[in-house]
A and B are shown apart, each in its own frame.
Chain A
Amino acid sequence: MDMPTTKKKLGIKERYALMTRGLDWETSYQPMDKVFPYAQFEGIKIHDWDKWEDPFRLTMDAYWKYQAEKERKLYAILDAFNQNNGHLGVTDARYVNTLKLFLNGISPLEYMAHRGFAHVGRQFPGVGPRVACQMQSLDELRHAQTQIHSMSNYNKYYNGLHSPTEMIQKVWYMSVPRSFFDDAYTAGPFEFMVAIGFSFEYVLTNLLFVPFVSGAAYNGDMGAMTFGFSAQSDEARHMTLGLECIRFMLEQDPDNIPIVQKWIDKWTWRGIRVLTLVAMMMDYMLPKKVMSWKEAWEIYFEENAGALFNDLARYGIKMPECAKQAFIDKDHISHQAWATFYQYSGISNFHSWLPSEEDKDWLSAKYPDTFDKYYRPRFEHWEAEAKEGRRFYNTTLPQLCQVCQIPMIFTEPDDPTQICYRESDFGGEKYHFCSDHCKHIFDDEPEKYVQAWMPAQQIYQGNCFPEGADPTAPDFNAVEEVLKYYNIHNGRDNMDYVGSEDEKNFAEWRQTSTKN
């Protein structure tokens, strides 16, 4: 028997309301405070969750449909790339080191973002942000997966890509991106949204993804380029969520303004410090360069974020103070970071190398005020040393900043020849920082940052050797044991690019693919 149905098509707005609102209930035998225990302790006051506007009005069924379509396209391109040995078409195997940095340092953060958004999605009492956070949580899981899939083909041919989930937990410099996320998702849900949803996904995201995705495009890597584009439409949604969250908090209660401002200040700086890795990637690691870090900073931060903060002024939100230091630092951080990885290349999972003559001239042109004066002499000295067979490897562990966990490589804003030292006393012990802004973050919550898992300190405590290693044995080689613990293959994954297996293999394979 045919059932008579009323086939009335619903409008997007109506449909969205039906699929997302009124799905929960008022609890009867448990107070709502206990159901949403994280909703209030941060001091953010919300009076009416229904004021939350979701500009995308995406429902779950539509979400699955869109995402499935994107996946089909992505994997079709990846298959073609892999079958045609696309990796041999990249400009130079040095390029693959940017993928090592990305796969190990960024992709695991996508997974951490997935967990973070799942957590805050559960904790917000309002259904609007809950649905939006749930979708972002799934997006982030997809990003982690598609990145791993697209780079897994490189893992068949190149070193250093074999263990990202382990390396993010162990390798010294990985504590920089990892602690950034640990800090965010051990905060309350509102701070997490300002940290990741707003400061990272809105203010800084273009500085992360544009360089990597255009870097891939410029260097002939269709695979990495495609996952970037596949994530892009998600990113647009994430940016909107971050901004909506800020707007919502600011409009709900004026008491929220100083709290939100404090978090924006903190997380803009935390993000800027993590982006040091991207700065160095752009200026030193891409064989064919897209633009300089400084240029990217000027476009995506000074111009775009400048306009954003002008818009937010009507809520009483100001450009973070740290932007002033970042304005000075844009001339320095990429050089300082690459010099760091050059000398600590013995304990890294990717290769480093000296800039060529052409590279150095490019750097001089892009950094006319700083490169020749402060950094060219350093690289040329190392070049001369390497020619004499004394390639410089630094083997002593550095002092680290307690907050961003980067070695204390940054210089005083008013003197590029002087390392910036800051310290605080807490509980009878000293803590060291790379900058006023990291010190300020520590001073605000010292109990949180004294728990930091600092990679150099952990090595000295004896916590970074493989099981069964005996540091008291006469032939104990600390560096070798740390590398084993990191799962870095000594002599293969680490050290200079020149003379590496990657360099040799790439040259051979390319030869056989282009000649008879």
Chain B
Amino acid sequence: MAVNALKDYPLRVMDGVDKYRGDWLINVGWDQHLMFCAPFMWPLPPAMRFGDLVEKIMPASFGAHPDFARIDWSKVEWLKSGKPWTPDFEKSIEENGLYHKDSLRFRTPGLNGIKGSGS
């Protein structure tokens, strides 16, 4: 539904893809690891290798969790917009079919947070 307004209501998108000097915002959350209170968001170049996100960006953000070092990345299950998704680590973010403001989640079966509490 459209906004009910008195006059013309011009569209002003505050976080459009044009606002990040060529980067895209990418969101990643780690299921059952709510010690990180919310999913993370980074501005990333679309040409960045997906594996670099996992190997170079994510450790600084997720590494404080004791489970992080135990992750077997070949067994990780990924979700994109809530649906199962398989990334190719060697391909770029763009080549993986991702786009600005996409939301990814990953699950690590067997690793279920502090004392299995989902934390």
Bound Cα distance from A456 to B5, whole angstroms: 28
User: Who on chain B is nearest to A461 by CB?
Assistant: B19
Q: Which of A38, A188, A407, A416 is close to B37, meaning CB atoms less than 8 Å apart?
A: A407
Q: Provide the residues of chain B in CB contact with A344, threshold 8 Å.
A: 37
Whether A75 is near chain B, meaning CB under 8 Å from some CB there, is: no
Are the C-beta atoms of A41 and B119 separated by less than 8 Å? no
Structural contact, A419 and B39, CB atoms closer than 8 A: yes
Within 8 Å of chain B (Cβ to Cβ): is A452?
Answer: yes
Q: Assess whether A25 is interfacial by the CB under 8 Å rule.
A: no
- Is the Cβ of A377 less than 8 Å from the Cβ of B115? yes
From the candidates B20, B42, B113, name the one contacting A396 in the complex (CB within 8 A): B42
Contact B14 A453 (CB under 8 A): yes
A110 to B15, CA, bound (A): 29
Q: Which residues of A contact B34 (CB under 8 A)?
A: 336, 339, 378, 411, 417, 419
Chain A minimum-CB-distance residue to B35: A378
Residues of B within 8 A of A443 (CB): 1
- Bits for B90-119, please: 1 = Cβ < 8 Å to A, else 0: 000000000111110100000011110111
A430 CB within 8 Å of chain B: yes
**Proximity bits, A396-427, B CB within 8 Å = 1, else 0:** 11111000000111010000111101010001
Chain A, residue nearest B43 (CB): A460
The complex places the Cα of A448 from the Cα of B99 at a distance, in Å, of 23
Q: Decide if B64 touches A408 in the complex (CB within 8 Å).
A: no
- At the interface, is chain A mostly helix, strand, loop or mixed? mixed
Residues of A within 8 A of B17 (CB): 429
**A87 contacts B by Cβ under 8 Å:** no
Question: Which residues does chain B contribute within 8 Å of A451, judged by CB atoms?
Answer: 12-14
Which residue, of A38, A378, A456, has the highest number of chain B Cβ atoms within 10 A?
A378
B68 at the interface (CB under 8 A from A): no
Contact of B14 among A188, A373, A411, A454 (CB under 8 A): A454
A432 within 8 A of partner (CB): yes
Q: How far is the CA of A37 from the CA of B7 in the complex (A)?
A: 11
Q: Determine the distance from Cα of A303 to Cα of B11 in the docked complex, in whole angstroms.
A: 42
Q: By the criterion CB–CB under 8 Å, are A421 and B119 in contact?
A: no
Q: Say if the beta carbon of A322 comes within 8 Å of chain B.
A: no
Residue of A nearest to B10 (CB): A447
Q: Beyond A418-B31, A460-B20, is A447–B36 a contact (Cβ under 8 Å)? A: no
- Is A457 interfacial (CB 8 A cutoff)? yes
A475 interface residue per 8 A CB criterion: no
State the CA gap A429–B20 with chains docked (Å): 14
Q: How far is the CB of A331 from chain B (nearest CB, A)?
A: 15
Cβ-defined contact, A417 with B118, below 8 A: yes
A38 touches B6 (CB 8 A): yes
* Besides the known contacts A378-B114, A430-B100, 16 further A-B residue pairs in the complex with CB atoms under 8 A apart: A42-B4, A43-B4, A374-B117, A381-B114, A392-B35, A394-B36, A396-B42, A398-B40, A398-B41, A399-B40, A411-B34, A421-B82, A421-B103, A429-B16, A447-B9, A450-B12
A residues adjacent to B (C-beta < 8 A): 37-38, 41-43, 188, 336, 339-340, 343-344, 373-375, 377-378, 381-382, 390, 392, 394-400, 407-409, 411, 416-419, 421, 423, 427, 429-432, 443-445, 447-448, 450-454, 456-457, 460-461
Binding site for A on B (CB under 8 A): 1-6, 9, 11-17, 19-20, 23, 25, 27, 29, 31-32, 34-43, 60-61, 64, 81-82, 99-103, 105, 112-115, 117-119
Per CB-CB distance, the 10 closest pairs between chain A and chain B, nearest first, are: A417-B118, A398-B38, A407-B38, A378-B119, A396-B61, A377-B117, A340-B37, A399-B27, A399-B39, A430-B101
